[in-house]
């Protein structure tokens, strides 16, 4: 079906002009004009942060960023995607780490250079109070830092804009890992599952799934039970999924 003129907007992808339906997200608009994603696209649901995109509306001074799978196109949008933000990562052995302050200082000392400029918070497409969690880490309030940073999807938007060159998502992952391990009891069902994985309980099922026709795989996936967000005592009707469907 042909779209009428007032249902379209003009955008510029990597400098090239395109007319696209105004109801599309940036990601779908790029596919609409012929791009095929082999990177910068994963979940399509704003969950994994693969699609960080910079844009400027023609005539405006402000350079903005967004998730391409979530933000809609706008008239005059000039768009460029960032393939990868090389945020600083540190290798540490979680089994040997217990003191969070010491570990942050050892692996992410630059955190203490934070200028409290709030640029990271403004750059975050998840509306996370990024500066506040960095400041909480500096104060040693790791519970606050863990709670504030929990919704982070690792898109790297804050990293790219930080004048102190801090890798906020990676330092917050370190803090959450160590804080949770030091302070919260292991979940019984997770511990049991880990043991079952080690014992090889799922090896045969995984082998069968790997060999399975894609249509059958889709059918099984669509029949799975999903844990509701807010029900603590929920248990699956078929704890052996997907074995019960094979």
Q: What is the rounded distance in angstroms from the CA atom of residue 185 to the CA atom of residue 182?
A: 8
Choose among ligand SF4, ligand FES, none what residue 44 binds, the Cβ cut-off being 5 to 8 Å by kind. ligand FES
What's the closest the beta carbon of residue 199 comes to ligand SF4, in angstroms?
36
Contacts of ligand FES in 62-81 (CB under 6 A)? 67-69
Check residue 30 for interaction with ligand FES (CB under 6 A): no
- Which residue number, 50 or 111, has a Cβ lying nearer to ligand FES? 50
- Which residue number, 136 or 159, has a Cβ lying nearer to ligand FES? 159
Check residue 117 for interaction with ligand SF4 (CB under 6 A): yes
Give the other-Cβ count within 10 Å of 206's Cβ.
Answer: 12
Which pair of structure tokens corresponds to residue 171?
């330092």
Contacts of ligand SF4 in 146-165 (CB under 6 A)? 152-158, 162-164
* Residues 57 and 39: beta-carbon distance below 8 Å: no
How many residues sit in the footprint of ligand SF4 (CB under 6 A)? Answer: 28
42, 140, 163, 236: which one contacts ligand FES (CB under 6 A)?
42
Q: What is the rounded distance in angstroms from the CA atom of residue 131 to the CA atom of residue 155?
A: 16
Choose among ligand FES, ligand SF4, none what residue 50 binds, the Cβ cut-off being 5 to 8 Å by kind. ligand FES
Print the binding letters for residues 32-71 with ligand SF4: x by CB under 6 A, - otherwise.
Answer: -----------------x----------------------
Check residue 50 for interaction with ligand FES (CB under 6 A): yes
Q: Which residues bind ligand FES (CB under 6 A)?
A: 41-44, 46-51, 67-69
């Amino acid at each position: 079906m042909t779209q009428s003129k007032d249902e379209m907007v003009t955008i510029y992808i990597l400098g090239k002009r395109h007319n696209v339906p105004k109801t599309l997200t940036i990601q779908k608009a790029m596919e609409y004009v012929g791009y095929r994603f082999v990177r910068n696209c994963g979940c399509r649901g704003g969950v994994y942060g693969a699609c960080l995109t910079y844009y400027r509306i023609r005539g405006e001074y402000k350079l903005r960023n967004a998730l391409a799978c979530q933000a809609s196109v706008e008239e005059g949008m000039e768009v460029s995607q960032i393939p990868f933000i090389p945020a600083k990562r540190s290798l540490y052995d979680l089994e040997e780490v217990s003191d969070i302050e010491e570990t942050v200082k050892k692996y992410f000392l630059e955190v203490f250079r934070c200028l409290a400029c709030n640029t990271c918070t403004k750059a975050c497409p998840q509306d996370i109070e990024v500066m506040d969690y960095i400041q909480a880490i500096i104060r040693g309030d790791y519970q606050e830092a863990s709670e504030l940073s929990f919704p982070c999807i690792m898109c790297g938007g804050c990293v790219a804009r930080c004048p102190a060159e801090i890798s906020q998502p990676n330092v917050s992952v370190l803090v959450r890992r160590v804080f949770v391990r030091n302070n919260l009891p292991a979940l019984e069902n997770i511990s049991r599952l880990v043991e079952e994985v080690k014992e090889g309980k799922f090896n045969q099922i995984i082998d069968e799934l790997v060999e399975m026709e894609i249509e059958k795989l889709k059918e099984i996936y669509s029949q799975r039970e999903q844990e509701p967000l807010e029900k603590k005592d929920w248990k699956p009707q078929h704890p052996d999924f997907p074995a019960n469907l094979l």
